């Protein structure tokens, strides 16, 4: 990252807070949907996806200028990989700090959502790792990586909040997995045995599928936008925003 970035501790706090609130939104709206529409799974998914679209968009707008609003280890990993040749993007210690903050925040987000709805924090029993679900995670994650870094490569990072929110909302419906597309969120959702949960046994498969999807997304990005590596610092957090808050 550039020297104009906020200090790493501040960016890590933003990533922890953002990922925690994201999981609180996902799990909390899932619990609310389950309570409000107990006999209609389709309506539950609509309620859950709508809250996630709106909440994620707001979180990116608020925290993007601080940390880049990754809220996702595969986005941070892709940022690190893309920046190796040009000296942009996250450094390795920054990548580690982001991933730890994101994962801790995701677990905390589940606990907070459970507490708000007075649902005990317990391990999810919802098995999800079917071949179709894993393929859905590959596709969802590949599309997310391509979207985020294509916007940066074409200097349209300002559109990241509505674009990412819209993509995740759509992917809730066009993927069989309902588009987790995020290893930290996947781990966090272990701790809620509700509509939004995922059983621990399904998590390794989901994370591997997400990593494969990230690799596919990066490959497509470099085919379509060969200069993308030079814009790793402009993923959501633009250089103008850096100067405004440093």
pLDDT in tens, 185-201: 999 999 999 889 999 99
Please state the pTM of the whole predicted model.
0.92
pLDDT at 239: 41
pLDDT at 236: 66
| pLDDT over threshold 60, residue 1 | no
- CA dist 186 and 200 (Å) reads 9
pLDDT in tens, 92-146: 999 999 999 999 999 999 999 999 999 989 999 999 999 999 999 999 999 999 9
- CA dist 28 and 168 (Å) reads 17
Domain boundaries, the chain: 8-245
Which CATH number does 8-245 carry? Answer: 1.20.1080.10
């Amino acid at each position: 990252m550039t020297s104009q970035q906020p200090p790493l501790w501040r960016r890590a706090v933003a990533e922890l807070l953002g990922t925690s609130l994201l999981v609180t939104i996902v799990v909390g709206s899932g619990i609310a949907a389950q309570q409000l529409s107990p006999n209609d799974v389709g309506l539950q998914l609509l309620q859950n996806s709508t809250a996630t679209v709106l909440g994620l968009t707001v979180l990116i707008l608020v925290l993007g200028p601080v940390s880049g609003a990754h809220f996702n280890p595969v986005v941070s990993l892709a940022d690190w990989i893309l920046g190796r040749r040009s000296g942009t993007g996250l450094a390795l210690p920054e990548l580690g700090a982001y991933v730890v903050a994101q994962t801790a925040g995701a677990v905390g987000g589940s606990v907070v959502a459970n507490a708000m709805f007075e649902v005990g924090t317990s391990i999810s029993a919802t098995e999800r790792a079917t071949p179709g679900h894993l393929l859905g995670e590959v596709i969802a994650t590949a599309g997310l990586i391509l979207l985020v870094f294509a916007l940066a490569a074409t200097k349209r990072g300002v559109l990241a909040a509505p674009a990412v929110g819209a993509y995740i909302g759509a992917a809730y419906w066009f993927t069989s997995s309902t588009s987790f597309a995020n290893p930290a969120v996947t781990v966090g959702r272990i701790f809620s045995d509700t509509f939004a949960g995922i059983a621990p046994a399904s998590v390794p498969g989901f994370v591997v599928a997400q990593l494969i999807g990230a690799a596919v997304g990066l490959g497509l990005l470099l085919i379509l936008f060969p200069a993308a590596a030079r814009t790793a610092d402009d993923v959501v957090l633009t250089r103008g925003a850096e100067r405004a808050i440093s």
